[in-house]
Chain A
Amino acid sequence: MLSYFLKRLFSLVPLLLGITFISFLIIHLAPGKPSYLKEMNPRISAEAQERLIRLYQLDKPILVQYIHWLKRVIKLDFGNSFADGRKVIVRIRERLPITLLINALSLFFILLFAFPVGIISSLKPNGVFDKCTTLFVFIGFSLPSFYLALLLMLLFGIKLGCLPISGIVSFNHSQLSSGERILDIAKHLILPVSVATFGGLAGFSRYVRANMIEVLKQDYIRTAYAQGIGRGRIVCKFALKNALLPLITILGLSVPGLLGGSVILESVFAIPGMGRLLYEATLSRDYPLIMGGVVIGAVLTLLGNLIADLCYAWADPRIRYQ
C-alpha cells in the first residue's frame, strides 16, 4: 500500500509539470496584456508601455518566461502580482479563509440534506416524495444564483430587515465583543451559504438516489429481505454502505472546489473570496496570480484524486492496490 502510494505520489510530478506548462502557454498566448497595458489612456505613452513590457519581462520568449517561473515555483515562490506588486501567495492567503469557510459550510449542508433526500427518494423511485424533492432540487439547480441571491437580499435585507445584505462583517464589527463578532459573521454568512447550498443540492442528492436504487436492486439485498431482516437495517446498513462508495470519488473531486469560489456569488454578496480574485486576475492578465491559482487548483485536484483512490481501497475490501 505504501509503495503504491509513493509511486502514485511521484507520478504526480510530471503530471503537474505538464499541467502548468500547458496552462502557462495558453494564458500567455491568449490575447490581451497585463494590468496598466489594458488601460485605454492617452496619457500612457507608447514608450511607457514598452518599458512596462520590459519590466514585466514579457518581451522574452515564452519558454524562457516559463523556465524563470518554474525556477521560482520550485522554491515555492509564486512571484509578485503584476497588478499591485504584492506577493501572489499573500494575495491568495488573504482570500482563502473566507472562501474555505463558505465552501465547507455549504458542502456540509449539502451533504446534510442530500443524504436523507436521496435515500428516501430511492426507496420509492417516482413516488410522491421523490417527485417533489426532484422538482425542488432542480429548481435550486436551474435558478441563476445571482437572481436568487438578489431576491433573498430584497426579502431578508430590505423587506424584513433581519439579515445584512452584503459583505462578511458589519460596519461596527471592530467595536463588538468576540461573541458578537462570531454572531455578526454568522449572520452575514446565512444568505450566501443558503444560496450555495440550494444550488448544489441537486447533484449530490441525485447521486445518492441513483446509487441507492442501483444497490437496492442487487441480489444480496433480495437475500437479506428473504432472510427476514428489517427494512430499516437493510437500507441503512447493507445498501447505504455500498451506495456510498462512488461518492468517495465525487467527494475527492470536490476538494479543489473548496478553495475555488463562485465569482457570481462573491460579486453579488461582495465577499472578498478566491473566485473574485482569480476572475479579476484573469481579466487584468495578472499572469503570476493566475498561475498561482492554477497550481493550487491542479495540486488539489491531483491530491483529491489520490486521496479518493486510497479511501476507496480502504472502504471497499474488493479493491486492493498492488
Chain B
Amino acid sequence: MCGIIGVIDRNRSLMDGSHIKSALSMMNERGSGEGAGYVAYGVYPEFKDYYALHVFFDNVHEHKKAVDALLSQWGTIIHDEEIPTYEQQGLRRVHTPWRYFFAPDTSLMTRSSTPAEDIVTSLVMKVNTQVTGALIFSSGKNLGVFKAAGWPEEVADFYRIEDYSGYIWMGHNRYPTNTPGWWGGAHPFNLLNWSVVHNGEITSYGTNRRYIESFGYQCSMFTDTEVVAYMVDLLARQHGLSQEMTVRALAPPFWDEIDREVPKQQELDRAIRLTYASAMMNGPFAIVVADQDTMVAFTDRSKLRPLVGAENGSKLYVSSEEAAIRAMDPDIDDVFTPRAGDPIIGRVVA
C-alpha cells in the first residue's frame, strides 16, 4: 500500500509545492514514514538547457571527487551546489543531497543518434553501480526529484518544496513491503526526463529486470519501481512508442479480450504482446509516469490498486484517493476512474 498523487497544468502554469504536500499527507495511512518524495517539472528555468543531476552523497568529502571526475570526463559541470535542506525532527540525514547542472560533450558519443541522453544514462548507471557512496536519483532537464526516508510532510519540509514551482508535480508516500525503506528506494524514480511513482508491486520484476538489463540498464535501487522508469525510457524514448502504446505494452489486454477485438486492433495487440512479452508487468499496481510534456496514469489489468482522476480547467489530477485531490483543489467538479489498463493522459498544450 502506498499513496500517489500527480498534477499537470496543461498551460504550464506554475504551482508551488505546498498544495501537493498537504494532499500527500492526507494519505499518511498509506505510508509508514520510511519513504516519501516529490518531483517537479519546471523548477530550474535558469538552467533549463542542462541536465540537473541530483545526487545522494554518503559523505561529500570522500565521495564527491569520483563523481566530479566522471562528469568532467564526459562533459562540463556548469554549476553545482548542495541542495538546500532544513533539519527535521524524525528525519535522519543519512545522505547529503547535491545537485549538478551538467552539459554532456556530445562529440564523445559518436555513433549515437541521441548522444546527450546516452551519456547521461550511462553516467547514471555507472555512478549508481560503481561509485561508492554516491547515487544519482534525478537526471532530467528543468526538473528535480526531492525524496528521503520519512513522512511526506517531513520530506517536503526537509527540502522546503514550497520554494519550488513546477507545472507538473508528482508525490509518493511509501509503505515498503518487499525491500527495506531507504533514501534511494523512495519514489519518484527518475531517469532523464522520465519520472515514475508507483503503488503496488511488480510481481514480474525478475522477468522485467532481466529484459531491461539486456538493453544495458542496471538496477541498483533494490526496488521494483526502478524497472518501470527504465522500461518507459526504453519503450517511449528509444523505441519511439506513443504513450498509449507504451501503456498497452506494459499493461496489455487479456488474450480473451484481444480475441474479441476487431481484426486490425487484434493484429496490433497481438504484435505488442509478442514483441514486449518480457516488458509486460504483472501484479497489482497503479503507476503515474511523467516527462516534460505529459503525465500518464494507469493501473494493472485487474485493477488491484486504486486510481482516480479529476480536472479543473487546465489542471489534471490523478491520485490513489479522491480526498487527496480535493485537498489540493477543492474546486474540482467530480472524480472519474479509468478502466483497468486504460491510461489517463494529460499533455501540455502550451
A and B are partners in one complex rather than unrelated chains: no
A interface, CB within 8 angstroms of B? none
